[in-house]
Structure 1
Amino acid sequence: MKKILLIALLSICQLAFSQDRGTVTGIVTDKEMSGESLPFANIFIKGTSIGGTTDMDGKYTISVPAGKHTLVFSFIGYQTIEKPINVVAGQTLTINQEIGASQGVALDEVEVKATVSKEKESALLLEQKKAVSIKTNIGAQELTRKGVSDVATAVTKTTGISKQEGTGSVFVRGLGDRYNVTTLNGLPLPSNDPSKKNIDLGIFSTDIVEFIGIDKTFDVENYGDFSGANIDISSKNYRGKGFVEVGLGFGGNTEAISVDNFYLNDGPNTSGFYNINPPAFPLNNYNFSTSWDREKSNPPFNNSISIKGGKSFNIGENTKLNVFAVGSFDNFYKYKEGISRGSVNVSGVARRNYTFNNYAYGTNTTGMGNLSLKHKQHTFKYNGLFINTSSQKQDEYNGIVDIFDYAPNGGAVVQRATFDRTQLFVHQLLGEHKIGEQFDINWGGSYNFVDNRTPNRRQSIVTPDDWDEPNGPKSFRETINDSDNHRFYQKLEEEEIAANFLTTFKFNSNEKEEYLSKIKLGYSGRFKSVDFQATQFNFRINNSPSDPAQPFIDDVYNLDSYFNQENFNAGLFSIRTFRGGLGTPGVNVLFPQTYGGKQNINAGYISFEHRFSPKFVAIVGVRGEKITQTLNFNTSLSNGNSDLDEFEILPMLTMKYELNEEQNLKFAASKTYTLPQYKEKAQFQFEEITQAYIGNPALYLSTDYNFDLKWDYFPSRSEIISLGAFGKYIQNPINDVTINSATNDVSWVNSGEKATAYGAELEIRKNIFEDSESENSSSLNAGLNVSYMYSNQDLDKDKVTAETTAAGFPISVDFTETESGISGASDLLLNADISYMKEFDNERNIQATLALNYFSDRIFALGTEGKGNIVDLGVSTLDFIFKTQLNKNLGLGLSAKNLLNPTIERKQEKQNVLVYSYKNGMEFKLSLSYNF
């Protein structure tokens, strides 16, 4: 009886209490993001503990005692808003509020354990949920958690993307470099490599990144030279009271550390800023100042140092200035040893057959600064970026140069010393203007300059004096080609101006004053010039009846004993370019091999978005692009020109249906194109140790049709389950193939009528447990994304012969098969990670992540003349990352990458011959950061 009375009493008290309370609800929006909803903002009743945070849609609801109160809205880095309210018992009061950073910053009202929202995983998931287009974002918070240090590795953590081994090039749904577009803050970036369309994503440190947007479906705002993905790097834009952080790192690679001695080239320094020009009179005398011989290097330990900082300034009541800057230097040492075979014939015999040792040292120096000035509804931004990267390699090959006629029994020693440096300068000016409730203007302009140089590459080939005795004395007696021993100088300069302009008009409002329709009208332009020059000085070994004997090479690592002024005077060798030597009549023998030209793209576009119902919205748009590309070349193979002039109409359709508040269904379809690159068209011969590449001026663009269907489910603000299907249809695809030639050179051709690719993608992010109630909060999170794809293309040798012959540049190929998968496409891609986070208080925490990446076999080059495709075998990598914040200022980190250290292998399928094999080694790094 007592229990019944107690329950009744409590019920009466609860009823009475609830009748003295009302409900306050509403939506908080972000003034800095043009009125987008703001998740994780704080709402509370001043002077009480009553309050909460907004959800992923910016919504909040709190129960408040009846009476007059002050409602407080706050968010880190934003102005705190106080609003008087009068709550009536039993009634609901709706208060919507927009907050921003333009009026000042107050950070003391509520302590928020979060980073700036655009870096946070949950905020980017919200953006993905709200977007009509099919896109993926990866932010600074996730990059830090997974221990990612560069953008190339960052994008491989998302669904359907893998990285080409040893490069910063990525494959998106099996489509490689030529199918992707790279932008910085929505403006295009130039390439730093003559063989690539896109800049090496590995040169971008994640220190400069707020988030990376990956659009796998075409939007008319993006350039149409696209079928894989538009990868947009959004640079950091700091908002807050100010900070300065210094970071240090130390580590090493197990393969590099394990060698007894580490060797590099003579000449380049360790800073990465080395450059050298050819001597003034390179053919008259031996005037080269650098040695042919390798030099013992410093102990191969990796180091890094960085400093970054930012601060916000209030300028009057309505103006705010945000400043952010970062500077960093990283270096790394790597060592590989293995086998390298080239030109494997139908019988499985490799014409070139080597074991190799590769010593490598690289640097990355990055400086970035940005300014953001916001005055009321107008924002102006400037981004300046400078990157200097260098790669120094000492490659040493031992074995058979050519099994049919050049050291056929082995014993040859090939050395190549290469230093490559790239400097990238980027200047961007952007503006955002909100004019009233309905009209927005966004614009941007950029100037980019790339300077890529390979100064003084040195190659030498020493063979047994008697080829029948591979272990006998070495000499230059049997040198066949002048180019076997050379010094090579290359320069690529690429200059580009780009501009974007977009107007957005919202109209057709409903009774809730929500605009149901939106129209966008815009222009994009990019104007690029390319200038490539290369000079190779070949060291001709002079064998003659009057001088039949060449001196023996006592030490293959002391070639300065042969290539010197004394032996030059004695006539043992002479120096020539491909145009000739001293005394060649009527020719400037020092005039370099060149190619270059201009590429201009002018585009206009329009799109219309309409919300047909609260659940269904669609976007339809069309983009028109005028593309002109001029190419002139004067090389050792030929001289001539190849121009391209096209106008492309590119339609797109995107639809989104909201199944409920947590689930979306999206569909996208578009037409795009793929443009051939300058290296692929210029008839210049790029020489590698076991392979040569020659351009095809007859190349023309491919046409691409893209389809996507995707279902997203968001169980909570930090969780997602996503399942998608996609398809690609490519007309006249471009492939690199081995052409019919004595040396099995590789070129690029429109290899058939069509190629198709289709597949499915699955992504899951799940909170296994989350304890946020206790004083020491903890969480365990896991992620998985899987992509499966099937690809096929037809191969037509007659089509290739007919088209190249008609264009005046005949190329003959003999495909082994009449159809094949797409080069670079893996059937299966998988990323998985699990992360544990423990917070001891507001200033101390630990975080640990284990991340796995896998890609299955993929075609490296198509098979010809009865030979099988050359295939890169599948690889798994496993990384462990540990970080701890020891106090407010001091942080420590430990990373151990590539723990499985698999053997990287490349095989020729039909003949089952291993053509390339090595190990990358495990990477360990200890890092320290101090925040002032």
Structure 2
Amino acid sequence: MKHLFTVLALFVSALTMAQETKGSIVGTITDKEMNNDPLPFANVQIEGSTKGTTTDMDGLYELASVDPGTYTLVISFVGYETLKVPNVKVEAGKVTELNTGLGAGSVSLDEVVVTTTARRDSETALLLDQKKAVEIKTSIGAQELSRKGVSDVATAVTKTTGVSKQEGSGGIYVRGLGDRYNSTTMNGLPLPSNNPSRKNITLDIFSTDIVEYIGISKTFEYRNYGDFAGANIDISSRNYKGNGFLSFKVGMGGNTNALAQDKFYLQDGPNKIGFYNPSYPSDPLSAYNFTTSWDRQTSFPINNSFGLTGGESFDLGNEGRLSFFGSASFDNGYKFREGIARGAVSTQGIPRKDFTFDSYDYVTNTTLLGNVFYRINQKNTLNFNSLYINSTSQEHEEYSGVIDIFDNAPEGGGFVRRSTFDRTSLLVNQLLGDHKLSEKFEINWGLSYNKMNNVIPDRMQNTLVPIDNDNFDAGLQVSDLATSDNHRYYQNLNEDEFSANAEVSYNFSKDEDGYKGKATFGYSGRYKTVSFEATQFNFRINRNITQPQVFPDRLDDYFNQASLDAGYFEIVTFRGGEGTPNVLDPQTYDGVQLIQAGFGALEYKFSPKFTGMFGVRGEYIYQNIEWETSLDPNGDENDFDRFEIMPTTSLKYSLTEKQNLRFAASKTYTLPQFKERAPFQYEEVTQVYFGNPDLYPSTDYNVDLKWELFPTGEELISVTGFGKYIQNPINEVTVASATNDISYVNTGEKAIGIGGELEVRKNIFNFSKDELLKNNLSFGFNASYMYTNQDFDREKVVEETDLSVGFTNDEGRLTGASDLLINADISFLKEFSEDRNVQATVAYNYFSDRLYAIGTNNRGNLVDQAVGTLDFNLNTQLNKNIGISLKARNLLDPTIERIQDTQNVVVESYKKGLNFDLSLTYNF
């Protein structure tokens, strides 16, 4: 009815305001791909002229003051077929009404001619979806990612309100809540983790080339799994429906720190394309059979990228359409860092480990995506996605200084070298279906099989100490303090997961504006198996003979068969040396996780302004883990199961056609991860971690209140308040031990997080003379302020575990939480023609101090200091075939610094350098 009144108003306006010699064209454009909902921001133009307009939020348009005559009307929208409607007759003093729909496939109108296609991933389309939804949601699309020069999903989500990225990883924090509180899906189906220490897959292994948009749900939705408190990140892969295209991309770049090095060092063995996974020698203990060198190798640090993308569609019958899309890409990158690293700082502010370090990093990412979309007819579609990612990182680190102030190079002069190659191979297969059985009934379903393999093949570590601690000129020898000081390490993690979703929805209570009610019922389930094994070969140094001098650049002169024969060292595992029963049996843990869930929801439009959604989800969770590790060689197992009932509510009140007030509340839970529960010891140069089998889930309560205003289809102003209450929160803590190891415990009774968010997207100036060609300056800004607090209870930890923790404070902030997060960007766009444009964007990101680890035993917290970064991106389309992109990132190059706050000691400090990339895209 609202649309009818608007059209009539336009009709009357045209009659009363038009001159007798002029006429008008009015109408409504609907979206055939979205149940004929109104299609805003579609272009409507009279062919052969500059006269045109765009549809408003209700799909309405008006072409006023048109000379009488017969015209061809051209209607287009990004990602949809362009329609040409001929013989549109305009009469003086009258209004011509033309209503039609746009779709991704051909339509059965004789007057329509199909001309062009593109992707539908615009900022305006996503803003419209955000405005219409009952739930609170945020999305960032491929168009916005391109404008801001974002190349991976981890960086993409940090451009949204309340999200920050953990330095040195693809892990993210949402409203101060880290990895364990978030979840990751692709097209609504779960993704596996690629790191045994983490719940979620590292988001920076996903190239934005395969992304249509990324949805960030910071409020719980009944469709999502209940292991949630921060956000669900859903990656919507590209789904092509248009005519054929082929695009090739090539790029080159570099990091200023890496390019400034006389030589860039990496370990021997791994190749430059990332497909490398050797096993250890068949006879590793009785003879020296390792074939890769201990000595570092040189490389030339120039970044490269290549990409090929294409798609094609075919009509099948009157309504059917079969579409194919494929993408293949490879990119690599070099980085260099130098600075200081300190560990185990005492209450007197004295570090037990005190190093300067150099770190040489090399990463690769190979991505293959295939998509087949079959629209059987207007009511039934099938969608198959297959994604393969091979992501690798090489990190060659060299530390110099005090290895241990009490007994190992206590006066300095020590040297530690650690070379790690980490490879993740991920295969995702998904089959999705959407069936509109009638005007009232709809079924959506999805099946997926994911397989992930993560390997660390042949990590090498060497530790050298001064022969004479009082005279460094005497040279270095191999450290004999700990058996693991010199080792080679092999790790293999496999994760297989099956998952399924099925949902039935029923529309009811129809009136002249459509259905007021919708009931939804569904099932989702996932079955995951995890298999982890690790073997470390330690070179146990013989203390009973005089060791020779060793040179860091010639380690192969010492680690060889001759030295083994001479008795300088023997090769052992944690079980012992050659002849020990089962000596080559690895450390292992194996896990099974099963989640079965049923859900239901009722959505009802109580009035034209007020809509409510009330849902509930029930989940049965079972988790079992068994292990055999160096901390527990005899092995053991542990399991738990529980049933969770999780209600959720979303309310939306439309204050005006452009303003919404929203409220959301829910209950969820947080599971511990397999590695957090397995008593497996993982050693880094300055820190040791191990799991806690007594860890158990947390319970979470979430509430949000949001006001939002959409001044135009491209603009947004919103203010959000939120609160989190977590029972039995899980944290990483330093346990009471001589080596200050870190484990995981339920640290107290509760934790809270309270905050506010502000987001603004605004066009500052619009210089456009032609309504169809943009020439504007736009601004984006979002900020989050958070207060977090949790209590720490030593007695609770002692009662529930075998561990002892002496918290420095009785309460403190949540780990990973910054008080203030800011994102801002300003963009200029100039369109010279449909195929020629230039766009420049400057983007700034800031996070205030955030807690990295909780202080214990009168030592201060470890705190990451505030950092602001500035990026610049320039995109230009020279013609319909050629595009050029220039990216300059981290222009401010701030110092990345971590301190121990009470003692005010810097425990880590370095700079990342500037990154520059230039790429060329050619569209065939």
Class of the TM-score when normalised by the shorter of the 2 chains: over 0.9
One-letter code aligned to 1:830: I
Structure 1 residues 699 and 764: CA distance shift in structure 2, 3 A: same
Residue 716 in 1 paired to residue 712 in 2?
yes
Say if 2:187 is the partner of 1:185.
Answer: yes
Report the 3-state secondary structure (helix = DSSP H, G, I; strand = E; otherwise coil) of the residue aligned with 2:777. strand
Q: Distance in 2 between the 1:633 and 1:15 partners?
A: 82
- Report the CA distance between 1:785 and its aligned residue: 0.4
User: What is the aligned partner in structure 2 of residue 452 from structure 1?
Assistant: 454
- Structure 1 partner of 2:787: 790
Aligned partners of 1:515 and 1:559: how far apart in 2? 75
The equivalent of 1:746 in structure 2 is: 742
Residue 46 of structure 1: CA displacement?
A: 8.2
Provide the C-alpha distance between the structure 1 equivalents of 2:543 and 2:50, rounded to a whole number of angstroms.
94
- Residue 558 of structure 1 deviates from its aligned partner by 1.0
* Cα distance in 2 for residues equivalent to 1:579 and 1:156: 45
**1: CA distance, partners of 2:899 / 2:49:** 70
Q: Which residue of 2 aligns with 1:3?
A: none
CA distance in 2, matches of 1:463, 1:668: 59
Alignment of 1:825 with 2:827, yes or no, is no
Farther-moved stretch of structure 1 (209-218 vs 231-240) = 231-240
Q: Which residue does the alignment assign to 1:537? A: 537
Contact 2:84 2:113 (C-alpha < 8 Å) held by counterparts: no
Q: Which amino acid aligns with 1:473?
A: G
Match of 2:364 in 1: 363
Looking at structure 2, the residues matched to 742 and 15 of structure 1 have their Cα atoms a distance apart, in angstroms, of 88
Equivalent residue, structure 1, for 2:430: 428
Contact 2:72/2:84 (<8 A) preserved: no
Match of 1:116 in 2: 119
Q: How does 1:160-309 map to 2 (within 5 A)?
A: 160-297=162-299, 299-309=300-310
CA distance in 2, matches of 1:160, 1:755: 18
Question: Counterpart of 1:847?
Answer: 839
Q: 1:141 to 1:68 in 2, by over 3 A?
A: closer
Shift of 1:34: 3.1
Question: Is 2:185–2:234's contact at 8 Å kept on the other side of the alignment?
Answer: yes
Identify unmatched segments of 5+ residues in structure 1. Answer: 1-12, 805-809
Q: Please point out which of 652, 672, 693 is paired with 1:676.
A: 672
Alignment match, 1:623 = 617
Letter in 2 for 1:874: A
Give the count of matched residue pairs. 905
Q: How does 1:473-622 map to 2 (within 5 A)?
A: 473-476=475-478, 479-510=480-511, 512-544=512-544, 547=545, 549-553=546-550, 555-584=551-580, 587-622=581-616
Name the stretch that deviates more: 74-83 or 761-770. 74-83
CA distance in 2, matches of 1:392, 1:15: 72
1:7 aligns with none
Q: 1:100 aligns with which of 92, 103, 110?
A: 103
Query: Per-residue deviation at 1:665?
Result: 0.5
User: Does the 8 A contact of 2:729 with 2:751 survive in 1?
Assistant: yes
CA RMSD in angstroms, aligned pairs only = 2.4
CA separation of 1:565 and 1:14: change in aligned 2, threshold 3 A: closer
The Cα of 1:398 is off from its aligned counterpart by 0.6
Change in CA separation of 1:212 and 1:107 when aligned onto 2, cut-off 3 Å? farther
* Deviation (angstroms), 1:58: 1.9
- Aligned partners of 1:99, 1:923: CA distance in 2, in Å? 42
| Of 128, 131, 141, the match for 2:130 | 128
* Alpha-carbon distance between aligned partners in 2 of 1:41 and 1:910, rounded to the nearest angstrom: 59
Aligned equivalent of 2:9: none
- How far off its partner does 1:772 sit? 2.4
Taking the aligned partners of 1:105 and 1:154, their CA distance within structure 2 comes to: 40
User: What SS does the corresponding residue of 1:531 show, helix, strand or coil?
Assistant: strand
Partners of 2:69 and 2:308 lie apart in 1 by 51
* Deviation (angstroms), 1:371: 0.8
Q: Classify 1:566/1:301 alpha carbon distance in 2 versus 1 (closer, same or farther; 3 Å).
A: same
1:328 maps to which residue?
A: 329
For the 8 Å contact 2:751–2:790, the answer to whether it is kept is yes
What's the offset of the Cα at 1:317? 1.5
| Conserved 8 A contact 1:732-1:752 | yes
Of 758, 761, 768, 2:764 maps to 768
The percentage of counterpart residues that share the same residue type is 56
Letter in 2 for 1:698: D
Report the Cα distance in structure 2 between the residues aligned to 1:632 and 1:153, rounded to whole angstroms: 36
The 1-side partners of 2:255 and 2:425 are apart by 26
Q: 8 Å contact 1:411–1:471 — kept in the other structure?
A: no
Question: Unpaired runs of 5+ in structure 2?
Answer: 1-13
Q: CA deviation digits over 1:699-721, x for unaligned, max 9? A: 11000000101110111110111
Cα distance, 1:467 vs structure 2: 2.7
Instruction: Name which of structure 1's ranges 460-469 and 359-368 shifts more when overlaid on structure 2.
Output: 460-469
Which residue of 2 is the match for residue 403 of structure 1? 405
1:893: Cα distance to partner?
A: 1.5
Normalised to the residue count of structure 2, the TM-score between the two structures is 0.94
TM-score w.r.t. the length of structure 1 is: 0.94
State the distance in 2 between where 1:431 and 1:342 align: 53
Amino acid at match of 2:744: W
| Residue 466 of structure 1, CA deviation | 2.2
Matched, 1:865 2:857: yes
Output one character per residue of 1:297-335: Cα deviation in whole Å (capped at 9) or x when no partner.
2x2111111111112211222111121111111011111
How far off is 1:72 after superposition? 6.7
- Cα gap change, 1:400 to 1:135, in 2 (>3 Å): same
How far apart, in 2, do the equivalents of 1:266 and 1:843 lie? Answer: 48
CA contact (8 A) 2:533 2:586 kept: yes
- Cα distance, 1:623–1:16 mapped onto 2, change above 3 Å: closer
Deviations 1:391-427 (A, max 9, x none): 1111111111110121111111111111111100010
CA contact (8 A) 1:891 1:930 kept: yes
**Contact 1:80 1:106 (8 Å CA) reproduced:** no
1:330-349 mapped onto 2 (5 Å cutoff): 330-349=331-350
When residues 850 and 73 of structure 1 are mapped into structure 2, their CA distance, relative to the original with a 3 A threshold, is closer
Q: How far off its partner does 1:296 sit?
A: 1.6
**Which range moved further: 841-850 or 683-692?**
841-850
Structure 1 residues 49-88: aligned runs within 5 Å: 52-62=53-63, 74-75=76-77, 77-78=80-81, 80=83, 82=85
Moved more, 318-327 or 772-781: 772-781
Q: Does structure 2 retain, via aligned residues, the 8 Å contact 1:80–1:105? A: no
Distance 1:389 1:45, change over 3 A: closer
For residues 893-929 of structure 1, the C-alpha deviation after alignment (integer angstroms, 9 at most, x for no partner) is: 1111100001100000000000001100000111111
CA distance in 2: counterparts of 1:892 and 1:522, whole angstroms: 46
Shift of 1:773: 1.9
Q: Does the C-alpha gap of structure 1 residues 341 and 107 become closer, same or farther in structure 2, counting only changes over 3 Å?
A: farther
Question: Could you tell me how far 1:275 is from its partner in structure 2?
Answer: 1.3
Conserved 8 A contact 2:15-2:94: no
Q: Give secondary structure in 2 for the equivalent of 1:630.
A: strand
Task: Report how far residue 80 of structure 1 moved.
Answer: 3.0
Residue in 1 aligned with 2:11?
Answer: none
SS in 2 for 1:747: strand
Per-residue CA shift, 1:438-462, capped at 9, x if unaligned?
1111100011000100000011111
1:106 Cα deviation after fit = 11
Measured at CA, do residues 471 and 905 of structure 1 come closer, stay the same or move farther in structure 2, by a change above 3 Å?
A: farther
1: distance between equivalents of 2:714 and 2:116? 15
Q: 2 CA distance for matches of 1:47 and 1:575?
A: 81
Q: Name the CA distance, whole Å, in 2 between partners of 1:97 and 1:105.
A: 12
Counterpart residue number, 1:912: 904
Contact 1:79-1:103 within 8 A present in 2 as well: no
> Cα deviation per residue 1:90-132 (whole Å; 9 max; x = unaligned)?
8888765433233359999899999533x10111111111111
